[in-house]
A = this chain, B = another copy of it.
Amino acid sequence: MSLPHPSTDQINLSNVLAALGDQTRLAIVAELARMGDGPVSCSHFLIFASKTNLSYHLGKLREAGVTRTEVCGTSRFTTLRRADLDQRFPDLLASIIAGASTADEPEQDTA
């Protein structure tokens, strides 16, 4: 029925940052925010990665406590855990989403 999610107080900062420190996952979160925090079904994110790979990335986001996934029939709906993240790390999610939306072109590290 339901998948394992960390409780709010189990959400760890470096896990969250590591989860979001990946182009694909950051794009997923930005898209979730653009969609009003969800719920959004997995297939919606096929624009970002293959089905199998998506399963992996969505799992990472869920395990880090960034998203919540609810099973509904053969579909799964993902939501941003905004309230939980805000409680744990005020302003963090908002600033990340704002930064991700602001033209973040594929500019690599120029050291």
A92 to chain B, nearest CB (A): 4
Residues of B within 8 A of A92 (CB): 92, 95-96, 99
Interface check A26, CB cutoff 8 A: yes
A20 to chain B, nearest CB (A): 5
A105 to chain B, nearest CB (A): 8
- Distance, CA A75 to CA B16, complexed state (A): 33
Q: Is the CB of B18 within 8 A of A22?
A: yes
Q: Is the CB of A21 within 8 A of B12?
A: no
Residues of B within 8 A of A26 (CB): 13-14, 17
Residues of B within 8 A of A88 (CB): 99
Closest to A59 in B: B111
